[in-house]
């Protein structure tokens, strides 16, 4: 009986407290641009999610330290999803109610779910380097922005890189490439492009799915040992990557022949394997680990030196941290661009931010000015192209850190990808009964 | 004082056999339903609809289905998530492959398909029981996960394996706004709740309960175990399948097999255990506990920290959420092993004696 009354008292106390707490948070925040931060700092993918989140939040703090966007300060709130789609949807609804004007879902599953909701709410979704590949076509996907590249870009560049190592695309004929992928929408994204390329270039494609979260890969690597592919593409996330590298080491597959996508090319993926992953290469979304860039120095001086850093100091400049930082930068620049049209120093709405993202024009001078010299190349979006750039570099793990072994930049082959994007987005438009926007509608 | 049935005489069998023989109960439940249909749409905001009420209703329906099987028929299942997936994908295929298929038709056909699959995976229950059956139904989970990931036909050859549904419409009523989605789910769940309640009071429900309490004795008095068990699987899967279709169509809009993983199966089983085995009301309590509490904790803890001047990191909140949630489950199971529904009925008993307890 005592227990029960205790429980009752606790329940009543909580209800009372909530009532008192709920009231102040309801106050609208004036003159602040609200940035929702959807993260996963817990769960199976926490090791990768945490640096991303720290970079994202740190950049928002950096912008505030520099005076905001034309005087408009940024406010932000994190919401934890644990990589679960239903929690992601809950976060979206929660933060939407607080005045969010752009979302970065950070999970392909959540992106798919939000793609259905964003148009009705008029909130743009930035999926920098992930999400639906066909959403590059802004005429159909008016609210999706897969800025800086998609998985299709990655698949195409990976094949280009292999071809270059072999000394020409014609040498690919008769070769065998295996794709070891996370068995989810994320891992399946590159398959159509690889299938298309295998048809035109004449290599054989072997598909090897790995179930979430990817710690069980013995059977997969046994298959690889049997079929002896010439190259392995790794489309993994989180613990799956380090497991794959360990298995490759155990089965004796040369790490030099393995190429990871950008989500399989960060420090947490290889750190545990250490020297065992030496020679493993990964694509990068323009940037790699950039500890010497100016923006990182600014970050250390203006944010971390004042004790306002979100994460540990030594993480600043690592691959995933930079990705979070650049993702935040793209969102901030979208808002800045929108202010140019709709009034400097004003808080933008979702529709206005979309216009900003759609007319993003970050040339090298602007990027250098913000401290991104050597980190990334220009990004220019338009109504029809929501991706902005498809530059990719390749970096290699030397057992201790990531190095750009080949300083060349790759660019995706538009001749292959554009028709596929148009076809897939056309199919989507037909299914959803969307009329693609005409160039005239774009100008509005 | 108010809650007392003195003076309510039943003069007909019909009056005696009502779902709620006590007038106060009847008016309370009718009032609650009326409030849900009229009051809530006026009061709730979009967040409440889309993030809390809709998932709560859909998972309550799924929990109701699981409760029919686990609570009423005594067959433990760990395949509820898989049956939700079957319902969602079957309804999706009916909708996209048959021209002019009405939404409700697709959802119900999805439920029927799930009933068929449920019977198939219920067959082992004729031979094995208890924990062994739980393991056998777990096979359904793994099989369905595999099937929806690998067999492209189920996902209409979608390259990413993710399918989506939009432009929901029923008899010219386009279900777009959160409040419309809520009313659609609410309508379905009220009907299904009534159906479940009546089933458990009728022959079939009594057969299930006889099997649950002692299957040999039930067989001796002339109940066919095969019919009783398989019908429980069929009906339960039907409910769960409809819930799965709603989860995909109405709540997520776009989904992948991970939305119906083994975690979902465990979640549904916990809902039933915490809510109360063998209680319709309990399914709703359990669903509310599992759906609402984590979200509540997730928002409440930072606010609480803010109040006392401590800022708690997102990761810490998330960990604390799991710890508190877990300990509350243990707490409730110790204090009331029969679930929240039992607490509810104890409260009602006390209320009848109040203000003169003895």
A94: its two tokens: 């929660």
Query: Which candidate from B46, B47, B335 shows the least CB-CB separation from A4?
Result: B335
- Predicted pLDDT of residue B351: 84
- Predicted pLDDT of residue A22: 44
pLDDT averaged over every residue in chain B = 89
**Is B335 within 8 Å of A432 when comparing Cβ atoms?**
no
Nearest-angstrom CA–CA distance, A334 and B246: 36
Q: Which positions in chain A touch B318 (Cβ < 8 Å)?
A: 41-42, 80, 82
Q: Which positions in chain A touch B164 (Cβ < 8 Å)?
A: 112, 115-116
User: What's the CA dihedral at A66, A68, A71, A72 to 10 degrees?
Assistant: -170
Query: Which residue out of B142, B155, B157, B162 would a mutagenesis test of the A interface target, given it has the greatest number of A Cβ atoms within 10 Å?
Result: B162
B254 close to A (CB below 8 A):
yes
Question: By the 8 A CB rule, do A406 and A394 touch?
Answer: yes
Query: Which residue out of B254, B267, B307 would a mutagenesis test of the A interface target, given it has the greatest number of A Cβ atoms within 10 Å?
Result: B254
**Is B51 within 8 Å of A90 when comparing Cβ atoms?**
yes
- Predicted pLDDT of residue B81: 93
The interface pTM score, or ipTM, of the predicted complex is 0.84
Report CA B358 to chain centroid distance, whole Å.
37
B335 close to A (CB below 8 A):
yes
Q: Tell me the percentage of chain A whose pLDDT exceeds 90.
A: 37
Report helix angle B262-275 to B314-335, nearest 10. 40
B280: its two tokens: 């319709």
A232 - beta bridge partners?
A: A178, A258
Quick one: closest CA in A to B45, which residue? A97
B65 close to A (CB below 8 A):
no
**A28 — pLDDT class (breaks 50, 70, 90):** very low
- Predicted pLDDT of residue A331: 93
- Strands B163-164 and B254-255: what pairing? antiparallel
**Is B315 within 8 Å of A85 when comparing Cβ atoms?**
no
Nearest-angstrom CA–CA distance, A98 and B45: 13
- Report the gap between the CA of A316 and the closest CA in chain B (Å): 18
Choice among A131-140, A182-191, A398-407, B275-284 with the minimum mean pLDDT? A398-407
Q: Which positions in chain B touch A431 (Cβ < 8 Å)?
A: 96
Q: Which positions in chain B touch A93 (Cβ < 8 Å)?
A: 46-47, 50-51
Nearest-angstrom CA–CA distance, B309 and B307: 5
- Predicted pLDDT of residue B106: 93
Question: Phi then psi for A282, rounded to 5 degrees?
Answer: -140, 150
**Is A97 within 8 Å of B295 when comparing Cβ atoms?**
no
Question: pLDDT tens digits, residue range B225-259?
Answer: 999 999 999 999 999 999 999 999 999 888 888 88
Nearest-angstrom CA–CA distance, A369 and A362: 10
Please enumerate in sequence order all residues whose Cβ is within 8 A of that of A86, keeping only pairs 6 or more positions apart, or say none.
B55, B251, B252, B259
**Is A188 within 8 Å of B159 when comparing Cβ atoms?**
yes
- Predicted pLDDT of residue B197: 93
Average the pLDDT over B66-79 and give the result: 92
- Report the gap between the CA of B214 and the closest CA in chain A (Å): 32
Nearest-angstrom CA–CA distance, A338 and A427: 31
Q: Which positions in chain A touch B298 (Cβ < 8 Å)?
A: 79-80
CA max distance for chain A: 80
Question: pLDDT tens digits, residue range A158-195?
Answer: 999 999 888 888 888 899 999 999 988 888 889 999 99
Secondary structure (3-state) at A158: helix
Q: Which positions in chain A touch B299 (Cβ < 8 Å)?
A: 94
Burial of A218 (0-12, 13-18, 19+ CB in 10 A): exposed
B297 close to A (CB below 8 A):
no
Choice among A12-26, A37-51, A268-282, A388-402 with the minimum mean pLDDT? A12-26
- Report the gap between the CA of B317 and the closest CA in chain A (Å): 9
Q: Token pair 């009329």 is at which residue?
A: A435
Pick from B125, B142, B123, B126: which is nearest to B134 by CA?
Answer: B125
B150 close to A (CB below 8 A):
yes
Q: Which positions in chain A touch B303 (Cβ < 8 Å)?
A: 18, 21-22, 25
- Predicted pLDDT of residue B24: 84
Question: By the 8 A CB rule, do A388 and A371 touch?
Answer: no
pLDDT averaged over every residue in chain A = 86
Nearest-angstrom CA–CA distance, A295 and A335: 19
> Is the peptide bond prior to A213 cis by the omega test (within 30 degrees of 0)?
yes
Nearest-angstrom CA–CA distance, B111 and B240: 7
Nearest-angstrom CA–CA distance, B84 and B144: 10
Question: pLDDT tens digits, residue range B148-187?
Answer: 888 888 888 777 778 888 777 777 778 888 899 999 999 9
Q: Is the pLDDT of residue B120 over 90?
A: yes
**Is B160 within 8 Å of A189 when comparing Cβ atoms?**
yes
Secondary structure (3-state) at A396: strand
Q: Which positions in chain B touch A425 (Cβ < 8 Å)?
A: none
Report helix angle B80-97 to B54-67, nearest 10. 120
Query: Which candidate from A79, A86, A120 shows the least CB-CB separation from B259?
Result: A86
- Predicted pLDDT of residue A204: 93
- Predicted pLDDT of residue A29: 47
> Following DSSP, what letter does each residue of A194-261 receive, concatenated?
HHHHHHHH--EEEEEEE-TT----HHHHHHHHHH--SEEEEE--THHHHHHHHHHHHHT--GGGEEE-
Q: Token pair 């996508």 is at which residue?
A: A261
- Predicted pLDDT of residue A23: 40
Quick one: closest CA in A to B142, which residue? A211
Question: pLDDT tens digits, residue range B11-20?
Answer: 888 888 888 8
- Predicted pLDDT of residue A116: 84
pTM over 0.95: no
- Predicted pLDDT of residue B168: 79
**Is B304 within 8 Å of A17 when comparing Cβ atoms?**
yes
**Is B149 within 8 Å of A183 when comparing Cβ atoms?**
yes
173-212 in B: which are within 8 Å (CB) of A? 176
Burial of B11 (0-12, 13-18, 19+ CB in 10 A): exposed
Beta strands in A72-228 (DSSP E): 73-80, 125-126, 144-145, 176-182, 204-210
Q: Is the pLDDT of residue A24 over 50?
A: no
Phi-psi region of A317 (alpha: psi -120 to 50; beta: other; left: phi over 0): left
Q: Is the pLDDT of residue A11 over 70?
A: no
A-B contacts (CB, under 8 Å): 120
B17 close to A (CB below 8 A):
no
- Predicted pLDDT of residue A109: 83
**A5 — pLDDT class (breaks 50, 70, 90):** low
**A21 — pLDDT class (breaks 50, 70, 90):** very low
């Amino acid at each position: 009986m005592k227990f029960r009354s205790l429980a009752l008292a606790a329940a009543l106390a909580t209800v009372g407290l909530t009532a008192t707490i709920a009231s102040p948070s309801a106050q609208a925040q004036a003159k602040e641009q609200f940035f929702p931060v959807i993260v996963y700092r817990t769960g199976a993918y926490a090791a990768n999610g945490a640096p991303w989140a720290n970079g994202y939040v740190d950049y928002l703090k950096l912008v505030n330290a520099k005076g905001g966007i034309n005087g408009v300060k940024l406010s932000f709130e994190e919401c934890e999803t644990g990589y679960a789609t239903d929690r992601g949807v809950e976060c979206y609804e929660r933060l939407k109610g607080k005045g969010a004007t752009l979302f970065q879902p950070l999970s392909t599953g959540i992106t798919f779910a939000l793609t259905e909701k964003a148009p009705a709410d008029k909130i743009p979704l930035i999926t920098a380097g992930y999400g639906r590949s066909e959403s590059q076509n802004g005429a159909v996907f008016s609210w999706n922005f897969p800025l800086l590249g998609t998985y299709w870009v990655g698949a195409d560049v990976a094949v280009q890189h292999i071809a270059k190592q072999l000394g020409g695309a014609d040498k690919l004929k008769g070769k065998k490439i295996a794709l070891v992928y996370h068995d989810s929408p994320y891992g399946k994204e590159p398959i159509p492009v690889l299938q298309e390329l295998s048809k035109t270039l004449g290599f054989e494609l072997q598909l090897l799915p790995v179930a979430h979260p990817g710690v069980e890969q013995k059977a997969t690597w046994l298959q690889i040992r049997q079929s002896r592919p010439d190259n392995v593409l790794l489309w993994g996330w989180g613990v799956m990557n380090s497991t794959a590298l360990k298995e490759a080491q155990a089965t004796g597959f040369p790490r030099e022949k393995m190429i990871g996508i950008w989500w399989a090319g960060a420090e947490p993926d290889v750190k545990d394997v250490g020297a065992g992953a030496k020679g493993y290469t990964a694509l990068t979304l323009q940037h790699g680990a950039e500890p010497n860039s100016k923006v990182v120095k600014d970050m250390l001086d203006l944010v971390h030196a004042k004790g306002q850093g979100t994460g540990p100091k030594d993480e600043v400049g690592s691959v995933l941290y930079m990705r979070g930082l650049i993702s935040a930068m793209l969102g901030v620049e979208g808002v800045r661009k929108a202010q140019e049209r709709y009034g400097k120093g004003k808080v933008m709405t979702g529709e206005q931010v979309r216009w900003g993202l759609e007319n993003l024009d970050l040339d090298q001078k602007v990027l250098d000015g913000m401290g991104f010299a050597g980190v990334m190349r220009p990004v220019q979006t338009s109504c029809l192209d929501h991706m902005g750039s498809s530059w990719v570099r390749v970096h290699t793990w030397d057992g201790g850190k990531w190095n750009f072994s080949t300083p060349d930049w790759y660019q995706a082959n538009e001749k292959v990808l554009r028709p596929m994007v148009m076809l897939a987005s056309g199919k989507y438009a037909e299914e959803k009964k969307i009329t693609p926007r005409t160039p005239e509608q774009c100008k509005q | 004082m108010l809650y007392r049935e003195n003076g309510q005489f039943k003069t007909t069998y019909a009056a005696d056999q009502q779902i709620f023989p006590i007038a106060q109960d009847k008016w309370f439940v009718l009032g609650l339903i009326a409030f849900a249909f009229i009051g809530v749409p006026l009061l709730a905001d979009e967040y409440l609809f889309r993030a809390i009420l809709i998932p709560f209703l859909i998972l309550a329906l799924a929990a109701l289905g699981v409760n029919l099987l686990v609570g009423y028929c005594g067959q433990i299942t760990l395949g509820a998530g898989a049956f939700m997936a079957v319902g969602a994908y079957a309804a999706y295929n009916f909708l996209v492959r048959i021209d002019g298929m009405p939404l409700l038709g697709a959802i119900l056909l999805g439920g029927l398909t799930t009933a068929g699959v449920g019977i198939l995976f219920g067959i082992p229950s004729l031979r094995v029981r208890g924990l062994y059956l739980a393991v056998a139904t777990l096979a359904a989970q793994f099989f369905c996960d595999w099937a929806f990931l690998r067999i492209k036909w189920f996902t209409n050859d979608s390259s990413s394996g993710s399918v989506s549904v939009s432009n929901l419409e029923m008899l010219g009523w386009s279900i777009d706004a959160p409040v419309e989605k809520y009313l659609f789910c609410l309508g379905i769940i009220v009907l299904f709740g009534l159906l479940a309640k009546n089933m458990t009071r009728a022959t079939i429900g009594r057969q299930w309960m006889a099997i649950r309490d002692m299957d040999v004795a039930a067989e001796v008095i002339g109940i066919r175990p095969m019919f009783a068990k398989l019908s429980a699987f069929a009906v339960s899967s039907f409910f769960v399948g409809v819930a799965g279709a709603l989860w995909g169509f109405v709540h997520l809009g776009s989904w992948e097999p991970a939305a119906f993983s083994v975690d979902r199966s465990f979640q549904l089983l916990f809902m039933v255990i915490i809510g109360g085995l063998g209680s319709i009301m309990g399914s709703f309590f359990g669903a509310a506990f599992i759906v609402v509490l984590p979200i509540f904790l997730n928002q409440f803890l930072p606010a609480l920290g803010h109040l006392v001047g401590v800022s708690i990191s997102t990761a810490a909140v998330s960990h604390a959420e799991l710890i508190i949630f877990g300990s509350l489950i243990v707490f409730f199971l110790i204090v009331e092993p029969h679930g929240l529904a039992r607490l509810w009925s104890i409260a009602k008993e006390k209320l009848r004696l109040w203000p003169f307890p003895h």
